[in-house]
Amino acid sequence: MNGGQGKRLAVFVASTFIDEVRAELTLAFDATFAERGGDPVAELITRSGRGEHFDAVIFSLDVPMGSEVIRALPRGLRALATYSVGTDHVDLGAAADRGLAVFNTPGVLADSVAENAIFLMLGAARRATESIALLRSRSWSGWNPTQLVGVQLSGRSLGILGMGDIGERIARRASALGMEILYCNRRPLPEGHPLAEGYRATAGELVAESDILMLACPSTEETRRIVDDALLSRAKAGMILVNIARGDVVDDDALVDALREGRVWAAGLDVFAGEPKVDARYFDFPNVFMVPHIGSSTIEARLGMGRILIEGLSGWEAGGEVRNRVA
């Protein structure tokens, strides 16, 4: 690397993070934090134009790094560090053209996301949206045998679309609930793996056998809108769908139709196409349990994400190999 020996990296922090993360970034780097409520990219360009130097930008999903933005970044910038696992908001080709190193936060949020997946699955299966609404309406008349009857998870099949690190952690937790684990992935798990026998070669085969379909795949050209009319037409009767992946892996029209027709019994959604906008039709379904993209929203995950970026940028500056460099 061409940074000065003994000098701390100068980083511009474009997104707003919790105080504990801000404190650790301040200890590790010569950190400048974007003003809240403004345009952080415009601020970075303005500061650079006044002679301030930055080696790296730390940002998250709220600051997309598309090709035009990357081309406009200051010339002296050498690295982009996204406070996320996914990099679909970063144009990696444009970053490579500029010679920018790119870092992300793999692994450290997997347990938090997996726990959220179980939470969503339980919320959808046990009719949490309706239960909360009933209590908050102050009109609950007391227990009766027909009240809000949901479904038990033990003994049911969980089909995981995308058996990466997070998928495996979901599977371990679901197995402890007594669920059968099926999965579809680009490659099957190694022979002898405890989950290997649950492999299904196509998403169609998976949904045909799954009581709950868990979306845990990355957003790619291959997976965007993979949950469409054709796939849902093959779904097992009464299937529950849970999405902790990316909103754009679901065709909203197809899911809404399936919910309306009862082909999908319920849904648990943490992510949405076009966030923060949410397709308004979902609000009309009491059997849709929704949370606002909180999969990694634990103090443990937030600190871990900051620390792996600190580790990656510091190791890269020192000339070492780092585990979280993606470009």
pLDDT in tens, 280-296: 999 999 999 999 999 99
Please say if the pLDDT value at position 327 is more than 50. Answer: yes
pTM for the model stands at: 0.90
Q: What is the 3-state secondary structure (H, E, C) of 4-45?
A: CCCCCCEEEECCCCCHHHHHHHHHHCEEEECCCCCCHHHHHH
Q: Which domain holds residue 22?
A: 10-108+299-317
- Residue 323, domain member (yes or no): no
Both 125 and 239 in one domain: the answer is yes
- Residue 163, domain member (yes or no): yes
Q: Which residues contact 11 (CB under 8 A, 6 or more apart)?
A: 25, 29, 30, 31, 32, 54, 55, 56, 57, 58, 81, 313
Both 101 and 248 in one domain: the answer is no
Q: Assess whether 193 carries a catalytic annotation.
A: no
- Residue 324, domain member (yes or no): no
- Residue 237, domain member (yes or no): yes
Catalytic residue among 180, 205, 275, 311: 275
Both 136 and 274 in one domain: the answer is yes
Of the pLDDT bands very low, low, confident and very high (cuts 50, 70, 90), residue 193 is: very high
* Distance of alpha carbon 218 from the chain centroid: 8
pLDDT of 6 reads 60
For the chain, the domain total comes to 2
Catalytic residue among 200, 293, 302, 317: 293
Q: Assess whether 187 carries a catalytic annotation.
A: no
Both 308 and 229 in one domain: the answer is no
Catalytic residue among 127, 246, 302, 317: 246
- Find the range with the poorest average confidence among 3-7, 133-137, 207-211: 3-7
pLDDT of 7 reads 80
3-state helix, strand, coil in the chain (%, to 5): 35, 15, 45
Please say if the pLDDT value at position 1 is more than 60. Answer: no
Both 209 and 116 in one domain: the answer is yes
- Compute the mean pLDDT over every residue in the chain, rounded to the nearest whole number: 96
CATH code, 198: 3.40.50.720
Please say if the pLDDT value at position 224 is more than 70. Answer: yes
Both 273 and 132 in one domain: the answer is yes
- Residue 322, domain member (yes or no): no
Of the pLDDT bands very low, low, confident and very high (cuts 50, 70, 90), residue 2 is: very low
- Residue 2, domain member (yes or no): no
Both 308 and 194 in one domain: the answer is no
Please say if the pLDDT value at position 234 is more than 90. Answer: yes
Both 203 and 268 in one domain: the answer is yes
- Residue 327, domain member (yes or no): no
pLDDT of 99 reads 97
Provide the percentage of residues in the chain whose pLDDT is more than 70.
98
Both 77 and 174 in one domain: the answer is no
Rounded mean pLDDT, 249-264: 98
Tens of pLDDT, residue by residue over 32-76, are 999 988 999 999 999 999 999 999 999 999 999 999 999 999 999
* Distance of alpha carbon 318 from the chain centroid: 30
Both 281 and 183 in one domain: the answer is yes
- Residue 282, domain member (yes or no): yes
Of the candidates 47, 50, 83, the residue with the CA atom closest to the CA atom of residue 65: 83
Both 224 and 311 in one domain: the answer is no
Token pair of 264, please? 């999908």
Both 123 and 103 in one domain: the answer is no
Rounded mean pLDDT, 236-245: 97
Residue 243, φ and ψ in degrees, nearest 5: -120, 110
